[in-house]
């Protein structure tokens, strides 16, 4: 079992760069691994929502994951994101990720369907049970899948399944985030905010950190929120959060999840486009992203 004390800080759902034929660009992916680690992130999540997990075949994901693990060289924990609808597929991916050396896996609640309490419980437990020595994080993203993983379900899974050790909550609902912390605080359960605007407020109520897509581009700023908070510089941490917020909020005007790649490309990281049907932002939309970065002083390289 991994040392779950390492599940903390700013974890980046790393961008998956692609070439003109929409094949994963391994050289650029390796570059991004070095880039985010040099920028100070505390962990890397492969194939999160901003990694476009829904767009790639199993083998493409596993090949890319191998490259990420190889390039990270143990410098930070590396997690594998699973967004499969079918339990059998999620189980298979979890096993493969563990065999490849994943430090943990993250499981999104199945999209498109709306499973009830028992169905969801069985889904998460089935996946966790096949990788008993690997840390499992639940991933709640109601904005994408259309329903929440309830606090009650998280609490039951946290108590019943030894290796379900945390959750990334992207609901953006601060009450829910705080309830997740409150209900599990007698356990060593790692609650992480999944909204980049809630890094600082999350830490104030007991989260261990956040999963932030903006750390692909603005690692030093995003990680400074966590690092300053942990050093007791609460005023500095709040200022860093407030510097980040307008940039993150500017992304909401674009088609999900293209803004992350748009901003990375504006910085000259050259990560390619998103996988179609999503297309890169143009015109006024791109200008909004650019100006939000410029106003925050994040465009000078």
Q: Which residues are catalytic?
A: 139, 168
Q: What distance in Å separates the CA atoms of residue 43 and residue 75, rounded to the nearest whole number? A: 9
Residue that is written with structure tokens 């809630």 in the block: 198
Positive or negative, the Cα torsion across 8, 226, 269, 38?
negative
Neighbours of 211 (CB within 10 A): 28
Positive or negative, the Cα torsion across 120, 98, 190, 2?
positive
- Residues 41, 15 contacting (CB under 8 angstroms): no
Q: What distance in Å separates the CA atoms of residue 106 and residue 78, rounded to the nearest whole number? A: 11
Phi and psi dihedrals of 173, rounded to 5?
-90, 105
Virtual CA dihedral for 283, 289, 290, 293, nearest 10 degrees?
Answer: 180
Length of the chain: 301
Q: What distance in Å separates the CA atoms of residue 170 and residue 274, rounded to the nearest whole number? A: 21
The helix (H) or strand (E) run that includes residue 259 is helix 258-266
């Amino acid at each position: 079992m991994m040392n779950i004390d390492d599940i903390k800080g700013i974890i980046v759902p790393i961008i998956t760069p692609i070439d003109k034929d929409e094949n994963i660009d391994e050289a650029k992916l390796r570059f991004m691994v070095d880039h985010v680690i040099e920028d100070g992130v505390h962990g890397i999540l492969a194939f999160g929502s901003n990694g476009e997990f829904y767009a790639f075949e199993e083998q493409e994901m596993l090949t890319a994951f191998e490259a990420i693990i190889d390039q990270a060289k143990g410098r930070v924990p590396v997690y594998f994101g699973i967004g499969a609808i079918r339990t059998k597929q999620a189980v298979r991916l979890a096993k493969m990720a563990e065999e490849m050396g994943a430090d943990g896996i993250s499981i999104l609640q199945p999209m498109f369907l709306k499973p009830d309490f028992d169905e969801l419980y069985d889904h998460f437990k089935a996946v966790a049970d096949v990788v008993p020595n690997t840390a499992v994080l639940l991933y709640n993203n109601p904005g994408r899948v259309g329903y929440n993983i309830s606090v009650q379900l998280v609490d039951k899974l946290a108590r019943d399944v030894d290796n379900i050790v945390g959750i990334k909550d992207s609901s953006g609902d601060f009450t829910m985030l705080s309830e997740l912390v409150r209900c599990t605080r007698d356990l060593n359960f790692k609650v992480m905010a999944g909204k980049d605007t809630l890094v600082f407020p999350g830490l104030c109520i007991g989260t261990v950190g956040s999963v932030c897509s903006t750390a692909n581009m603005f690692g030093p700023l995003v990680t400074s929120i966590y690092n300053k908070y942990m050093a007791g510089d609460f005023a500095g941490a709040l200022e860093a959060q407030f510097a980040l917020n307008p940039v993150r909020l500017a992304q909401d005007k674009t088609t999900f999840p293209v803004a992350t790649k748009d901003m990375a490309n504006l910085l000259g990281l050259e990560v390619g486009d998103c996988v179609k049907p999503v297309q890169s932002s143009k015109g006024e939309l791109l200008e909004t992203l650019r100006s939000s970065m410029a106003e925050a002083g994040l465009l000078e390289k």
